[in-house]
Structure 1
């Protein structure tokens, strides 16, 4: 087995990361304090230069000492300058693959690839910060071949197994249209940012230079005209929407969701490209979330809950697409993951759970009311304002609990459990029984008096994923517990098949 060094461009990308981290300090020391003779500034400059030189030397030594090899079974890694370490990461431990091609990578015709495992610490991932496209494809194919188990077939069909594993056809489930990008731009409300910034900038300029007094006569009347203000606002909205559309297109313009028999593939980005793949059997659950604006537009965000770490931007890379049509999202889940079924017939909580939710203490309201009572003479000129604010806040909290009750529903089917909760927005969580590693049934004193309970479950993820559904009936909690007890038989049958 032949070990080889990482690509020399790795030094450049590590150095680029160091420069990004110290750029602010460098600007403060060498630009803003240019010509300063302060002892503290001089010490900071020399310390920064010494740190840069030391970092460059350590990166060179690290590149000379670190090596890797990839055979048919595992990654073999050697690292360390003074203290040598060797690691072996088997391909079967790899759960997710993430590839990113930044603008800097494109300049050098390189890419980065990271193989995430379900472990923690140094064995959590195998990362190549700068490799050629050919080498990245080779490493990914090795992992993919190891994760594809051979299927036993009759001798008459043996010739079908001679197909190259690399030629497995991917099915493309979604690519955004121009209409989808426009919806995404509108959902983000980015077209309002420029108006807010312009209004804030004008108020600050007016406070400094008193623009209203400097501009007189017909110019002032023109600027204060309703038609002029409306025209300026329209122009700002168009410019803001255009900027938001360009920004959204750069992020999601080349989005693609695809899958084959074993994996799901997500790729996106125009200037900064990234690709992510996850084994279907590693998906522990599915989260479908809708903000208030997305509910109005009939959109949803689908996120895959994985057993392995996804890196520093877990939420971003595990999301299929943040602006999927709701019906299209449900059908896409069933196409990509035939083992998952999204239920559309959900059960509401019993009416007494609404009473229990309304009766629970309003601690936030009590704290705010106490503060308003204490400071009412200093904050308000009118004596009745403080208690009106207190009553209004209590009404809002009560309405929020009522809305949360009406938006809460669930379904427990043969192999699946599905929760839906939310107030203005909605979040749906779906998982399979064999993917749940722990369940719980808890009851508070108030729930004991009313015959209710809270059921909870745990899925393997990083961090561990906890989900719960409060205020179901005791009978439903018992049924949930009995339903989960069948998991042992289900897992045993699955193991016998393997």
Structure 2
């Protein structure tokens, strides 16, 4: 127990040092055309992002950040970073959620986060629960071959898999308003994605045999980035999928793919 507490304390200290080294002295500013970010203590980094290249924003919250009321905000950009590093997409690494929303709206007023979104019907949860449990199957096979006495672990894997699917359903919601699309999903890590119709390069509409029986579909958005950024929303109604198709056609450069899966 003493060793466990010591290891936990050491990991916290190391995490604090790494975070301070990377994000200490964090300063963000902007003008009419660009966003400027400075960060780092030992390794100082300064870069800017052209506002017109921003394709979407992502608000990310782990369980710990949700408990502390914090959020991370990242930008999806079509190039234009002065530093070719995936990390440079981070706008706010961590700050109080409402304060992050307020500052984001000041810098990028077209990107407003809506807290109240449309939840999916309960049938989507049942559909998620009907999907094959591949990890549980692999656990059963592996334990049966190598450690038959530990087969009870497969039951734990199954229960965890079910809980994760329930959490994923509980935190998944969707909003399409005006020319804006907002998607929230995830269980352990909650992610909110916001983009505009003119920023979407392509949409893909998928529906499997069982999805057709439940009257739902999957929408996949593609935004221009390096590499391209794909965002999937599972469980939209077939009516909303059709309405979304018509809505997206108003984009003069639209590309749509329809996929029917067996």
If the length of structure 2 is used for normalisation, what is the TM-score? 0.88
Q: Answer yes or no: is the 8 Å Cα contact 2:26–2:37 preserved in 1.
A: yes
**Deviation at residue 265 of structure 1 after TM alignment:** 0.8
On the 8 A contact 1:309/1:461 being kept in 2, the answer is no
Q: Distance in 2 between matches of 1:355 and 1:472?
A: 14
1:319 aligns with 2:90: yes
Per the TM alignment, residue 281 of structure 1 is displaced from its structure 2 partner at its CA by 0.8
The number of aligned residues is: 251
Partner of 2:250: 486
Counterpart in the other structure of 1:165: none
Partner of 1:442 in structure 2? Answer: 206
Cα pair 2:54 2:76 within 8 Å, conserved: yes
1:323 alignment partner, SS class:
strand
Distance 2:12 2:132 in 1: 44
- Relative contact order (C-alpha < 8 Å, sep 6+): which is higher? 2
Of residues 209, 223, 241, the one that matches 1:459 is 223
- Partner residue, 1:294: 65
Q: 1:446 to 1:309 in 2, by over 3 A?
A: farther
1:266 and 2:37 aligned = yes
CA–CA distance in 2 between the matches of 1:410 and 1:321? 23
2:181 is the alignment partner of 1:410? no
Measured after TM superposition, the shift of residue 465 of structure 1 is 0.8
For the structure 1 residues 466 and 248, does the alpha-carbon distance in structure 2 shift closer, same or farther, using more than 3 Å as the test?
closer
Q: Find the residue that maps to 1:370 and give its secondary structure.
A: helix
Partner SS, residue 115 of structure 2: coil
In structure 2, runs of 5+ residues without a counterpart are 255-262
Assess if the C-alpha contact under 8 Å between 1:309 and 1:462 holds in 2. Answer: no
1:293 aligned counterpart, secondary structure = helix
How far residue 241 of structure 1 moved from its aligned partner, in angstroms, is 6.1
Taking the TM superposition and a 5 Å limit, the aligned residue runs for 1:13-92 are none
2:28 to 239, 242, 257: 257
CA apart distance, 1:307: 0.2
Listed one character per residue, the Cα deviations across residues 323-380 of structure 1 (whole Å, up to 9, x for unaligned) are 1211112112211011222122210011111010000111111111122222344xx3
Identify if the C-alpha distance between structure 1 residues 290 and 269 changes in structure 2 by more than 3 Å, giving closer, same or farther.
same
Map 1:377-416 onto structure 2 (within 5 A). 377=148, 380=149, 385-386=150-151, 388-416=152-180
Secondary structure at the counterpart of residue 488 of structure 1: coil
31, 35, 50: which one aligns with 1:279: 50
Compare the two structures and name the one with the higher helix fraction: 1
Give, in whole Å, the separation in 1 of the partners of 2:18 and 2:223: 35
Question: Any idea what the Cα deviations from partners look like across 1:133-183, whole Å, max 9, x if unmatched?
Answer: xxxxxxxxxxxxxxxxxxxxxxxxxxxxxxxxxxxxxxxxxxxxxxxxxxx
| Aligned counterpart, 2:259 | none
Determine the C-alpha separation between the residues in 2 that align with 1:243 and 1:394. Answer: 33
Matched ranges for 1:177-256 at <5 A: 195-196=6-7, 237=9, 245=16, 247-256=18-27
Cα deviation code 1:250-282 (max 9, x no counterpart): 432311111111111111123322111111111
Provide the alpha-carbon RMSD of the alignment.
Answer: 2.4
State the 1:290 CA deviation. 1.0
Of Structure 1 and Structure 2, the greater strand share is in 2
Residues 290-345 of structure 1, C-alpha deviations (whole Å, 9 max, x = no match) = 1121111111111111101645521x211012112111121122110112221222
Q: TM-score, normalised by structure 1?
A: 0.48
Extract unaligned runs of 5+ from structure 1: 1-191, 198-236, 491-498
Task: Pick the aligned partner of 2:113 from 342, 348, 357.
Answer: 342
